[in-house]
Amino acid sequence: MASSRLPPTVLTLKQFMRRQQVLLLYRKILRAIRQVPSDSDRKYLQDWAREEFKRNKSATEEDTIRMMITQGNMQLKELERTLALAKS
């Protein structure tokens, strides 16, 4: 009997696209955090972001994931606004 080359859990296209959105959000958040001037604040925010993403790693419900992505984008925008105000 021929065995399949696919891993036991294959993502659907929708799951794959959602995963890409989450990874992009994570990268954007970490990039924004790099602009924080204070070392201690930057470390705190990095730890916070990593912990939040790890804590929600096992989420599987589509609506919940969409809501978390929306909240993450709002928090990213707030961080970017705060950094822009600090620079001006």
Per-residue pLDDT tens digits for 38-65:
999 999 999 999 999 999 999 999 999 9
Per-residue pLDDT tens digits for 74-87:
999 999 999 999 88
* Phi, psi (deg, nearest 5) at residue 27: -65, -40
**Angle, helices 13-33/62-87, rounded to nearest 10 degrees:** 20
CA dihedral sign, ordered 46, 57, 17, 73: negative
How sure is the predictor about 31, in pLDDT bands with cuts at 50, 70 and 90?
A: very high
How far is residue 74's CA from residue 86's CA, in Å, rounded to a whole number?
A: 18
